[in-house]
Each structure stands twice: as structure tokens, then as C-alpha cells.
Amino acid sequence: MRRTSSALLLPLVAAVVLATALVAGAAASSATSVQITTPKYGSTVHLGASPYTAVAGTVSFAAATPQATRFYLRRDDCGGSNDNPHLSVVNGTDAGDGCGLVLTSVVGLGGDVDHGAFVDFPSTDGMPLAFDSGQNVTGTIDLESLAGAGTGLLEVDVSMEALDHGNGVTIGSDSESVLITPLAADYPVAFTIQPNPALAGHDLSGIDLRVHVHGPFVFSGFIGNSGKSWTDVPSYAASVNQAVQVSLDDASFSSPIPARISGSSWSVAIPTPAVGKHTLYAESTQGFDTSAPASTTFTVKK
């Protein structure tokens, strides 16, 4: 019996928690930074002459260059306590290479062997990922047979889901067929997933690839790892979601004011505050990344 979508996300959530902890521990600096150029530090604004105060500055963001992020299907064991099927941007030799999904007897013509023969591969690194839904997800599932014994028709279903700000979302799926004969022991099955267009530019915190094999076959359906099975996920080198916000006399940004961005500059007009000394704060965000805050102090007079 197939698991529900929420069950599919359970290994993904666990993997994301681990990956997030590792990223947080390794983070050294922000990819974005912001400066305030107006009003200048120590300047004076006259309330009667300026009901609004211009606030402006400069900002830098990491380049959001289109690319593809390759994830390898990895496996540490084959059904044991250290099994751990997962996706990783790092390739290597897998102890679970060639682990079988299911070993069955041949069924009649038109039959379908399906004993829950699927494996979930949640991402454990390479996150967060700025998703480009304008390009297809592609990849290869390497299926292996016992030499001289594998035979039948395999149906290979691949489906991909993601965590989008804590919500499970469907990216897409594909199904491919492959005829198994005793003449070959290795069958690279290429797949293409047309992504959900609603996810354009979304910053994903995790992905999960489910591989489901079924059909009338025998002595086959073993997944080749160690670099033989992989998926290319269309992405950007950095998030396309960029923003600058300011805050008056509140370093916690509890009521932020969004600014307009033009290239490497930003600006916003705020109501001139009451007579007295005030501090303006600004911060920039790019995806899940937030800059160190910038600040300037000015005085309002009548």
C-alpha cells in the first residue's frame, strides 16, 4: 500500500531539520548587505518643512544565476539499521549500491507486481534551493538485474515533492517503462518532470524523490547508486526573492516598512516622526538570508 503525501514528507522533514542545523552551524557571513546614505548620521530634519523624510541607501545581493543542482541518490546500507536512502549533492561510493526494491515471481501477461515497492530519497544537503520552475527536472534511475536472470516489463514512477516554508507541495511526476531481458544487467532509465509553475522562484527548504517500481518482472528492480542514479533540479545560484525594509526606533523590525529597490540602490519616504532624536534601521533579505542591520541617527526639530 502506498503511503500518503504527508507520510512521504516525514523523512523529508527529518532530513531538513538535520541539514538546517548543519547549515546554521557552518554559516559564516550573509550573502546580502545594506547601507543607509540618507538621512546622514547626525543630520537634522525640520518637521514643519518636511512632513515626509526621505530614506535611501545601497544594497548588494548575491547573483541569482540560473543553473541546475545535481542530487545523487545515495544509500548507506541495504535494509539495515543504517539504510538511510537520501539525496546529496556530494557523490561517492554507496554501501547500499544495487539494493533491491522487491524480489518477486513473474506474474501473467498484464499483471502488476506491486508490494509497496518504492523508496523515498529526501535531501540531506544542497538546501535551501531557489527553484526555477521554468525548466524541467531531469534525471536517471539506474535499474539493475541479476545477470542472465532478469526479465519482464518494469514501470518506473518518479515523483518529487518539496517543503515550501514548512508546507508540503508537489513538484511533479513522470512514469517510464523499460523492457528487461536476460541479455543485459543494467538499464539507465531517463525521466523528465515538468514542474508545478506555481513554484516559480520559491525558496525550498527540502525535496524528496520517490522511486516506485512495479510491473510483471523477476530478478530486477535493483537501484544502482554510487553516482549511477541522479536528478538535476533547475535552480538559481541564489534566491530571486530580494527585499529591503526599514524600521524607525525599533531594532527588532516588529513593524517593518518595505523600500523600493532599483539596481544597487533603495529608497522609501516615511512620515517625519515627532520632535526629538530618532534612529533608523535597515536590513536586506535574500531568500532565507538576512543582512546585518544598518543604522543612522537623526534629529527632528520644529
Which whole number is the average pLDDT over 42-68?
A: 96
Last residue of a domain, one of 236, 253, 276: 236
Reference 187, options 153, 226, 138; nearest CA is 153
Q: What is the pTM of this model?
A: 0.83
* 48 plus 110 within the same structural domain: no
* 129 plus 215 within the same structural domain: yes
Characterise 101 by phi-psi region: left (phi > 0), alpha (psi -120 to 50), beta (else): alpha
Q: State which amino acid sits at residue 239.
A: S
Spatial neighbors of 262 by CB under 8 A, at least 6 apart, are: none
Q: Could you report the per-residue pLDDT of 178-220, keeping only the tens digit for each?
A: 998 888 889 999 999 999 999 999 999 999 999 998 887 777 7
* 294 plus 203 within the same structural domain: no
* 55 plus 171 within the same structural domain: no
Q: What distance in Å separates the CA atoms of residue 185 and residue 101, rounded to the nearest whole number?
A: 16
Q: Are 216 and 95 in contact (CB under 8 A)?
A: no
Q: Could you report the per-residue pLDDT of 237-279, keeping only the tens digit for each?
A: 999 999 999 999 999 999 999 999 999 999 999 999 999 999 9
Spatial neighbors of 229 by CB under 8 A, at least 6 apart, are: 72, 73, 139, 140, 141, 142, 223
Pairing of strands 294-301, 44-46: parallel
Residue 5 lies in a domain: no
Given this model, what pLDDT does residue 117 score?
67
Alpha helices of 197-293 — where are they, by DSSP H? none
* 223 plus 147 within the same structural domain: yes
* 100 plus 245 within the same structural domain: no
Residue 8 lies in a domain: no
* 216 plus 265 within the same structural domain: no
DSSP 216: S
Number of domains in the chain: 2
Domain that holds residue 192: 66-236
For cell 541539514, name the residue.
Answer: 19
Q: What distance in Å separates the CA atoms of residue 184 and residue 140, rounded to the nearest whole number?
A: 17
* 170 plus 202 within the same structural domain: yes
Collapsing DSSP to helix, strand or coil, 173 comes out as strand
* 89 plus 202 within the same structural domain: yes
pLDDT confidence band for 29 (50 / 70 / 90): low
